[in-house]
Amino acid sequence: MSSRVCCVTGAAGYIGSWLVRKLLGRGCVVHATLRDLGDGSKTALLRGFPGAAERLRLFQADMYDADTFEPAIAGCEFVFLVATPMAHDPTSTKYKNTTEATVDAARIILRQCERSGTVRRVIHTASVTAASPLREGGGGYKDFINESCWTPLDLSYGFSNVYVDAYMRSKSLSEKELLRYNDDETSSSSSRRRAFEVVSLVCAVVGGDTVQPDLGNSIQVLLAPLTGHAAHHNSLLFLQALLGSVPLAHVEDVCEAHAFCMDQPAMAGRFLCAAGYPNMRDILDRFASRFPDIKIRLQQYVVCHEHHHRQIVVALIFLLPVTFMRLLWAK
Asked whether the predicted pLDDT for residue 79 surpasses 70, the reply is yes
pLDDT tens digits for 212-241?
888 888 999 999 998 999 999 999 999 999
Q: Which residues have CB under 8 Å from 64's CB, separation 6+?
A: 85, 89, 92, 94, 95, 101, 105
Backbone angles phi, psi at 200, to 5 degrees: -115, 120
Asked whether the predicted pLDDT for residue 244 surpasses 80, the reply is yes
Among candidate residues 96, 171, 295, 331, the one labeled active-site is 171
In order of 30, 87, 111, 219, 302, the CA distances from 77 in angstroms are: 11, 30, 15, 31, 44
Asked whether the predicted pLDDT for residue 7 surpasses 70, the reply is yes
Distance (Å, rounded) from C-alpha 43 to C-alpha 38? 8
* Percent of the chain predicted with pLDDT > 90: 63
Q: What is the DSSP letter of 201?
A: E
Backbone angles phi, psi at 164, to 5 degrees: -65, -45
Mean pLDDT to the nearest integer, 162-191: 84
3-state secondary structure 22-48: HHHHCCCEEEEEECCCCCHHHHHHHHC
Helix (H, G, I), strand (E, B) or coil at 170: helix
Walk me through the domains of the chain, giving residue ranges and CATH numbers: 5-319 (3.40.50.720)
Which segment, 53-57, 233-237, 280-284, is predicted with the most confidence on average?
A: 53-57
Distance (Å, rounded) from C-alpha 101 to C-alpha 106? 9
Residue 303's pLDDT band, with cuts at 50, 70 and 90, is low
Residue 301's pLDDT band, with cuts at 50, 70 and 90, is low
Residue 139's pLDDT band, with cuts at 50, 70 and 90, is confident
* Percent of the chain predicted with pLDDT > 70: 87
Mean pLDDT to the nearest integer, 118-124: 98
Task: Identify the weakest region by mean pLDDT among 86-90, 95-99, 112-116, 310-314.
Answer: 310-314
Helix (H, G, I), strand (E, B) or coil at 181: helix
- Quick one: pLDDT at residue 308? 40
Residue 326's pLDDT band, with cuts at 50, 70 and 90, is very low
Identify whether the C-beta of residue 130 lies closer than 8 Å to the C-beta of residue 205.
Answer: no
- Quick one: pLDDT at residue 166? 93
- Quick one: pLDDT at residue 321? 33
DSSP H stretches of helix in 26-122: 40-47, 52-55, 70-73, 98-116
Identify whether the C-beta of residue 106 lies closer than 8 Å to the C-beta of residue 94.
Answer: no
Residue 300's pLDDT band, with cuts at 50, 70 and 90, is low
- Quick one: pLDDT at residue 185? 56
| Beta bridge mates, 81 | 9, 124
Mean pLDDT to the nearest integer, 34-63: 97
- Quick one: pLDDT at residue 249? 95
- Quick one: pLDDT at residue 142? 87
Question: Exposed, middle or buried: residue 313 (CB in 10 Å: 0-12, 13-18, 19+)?
Answer: middle
Helix (H, G, I), strand (E, B) or coil at 277: coil
Is 176 marked active-site?
no
Asked whether the predicted pLDDT for residue 322 surpasses 90, the reply is no
Radius of gyration of the chain from Cα atoms? 20
64-84: b (≥16 Cβ within 10 Å) or e: bbbebbbbbbbebbbbbbbbb
| Beta bridge mates, 206 | 249
Identify whether the C-beta of residue 324 lies closer than 8 Å to the C-beta of residue 276.
Answer: yes
pTM above 0.75, yes or no: yes
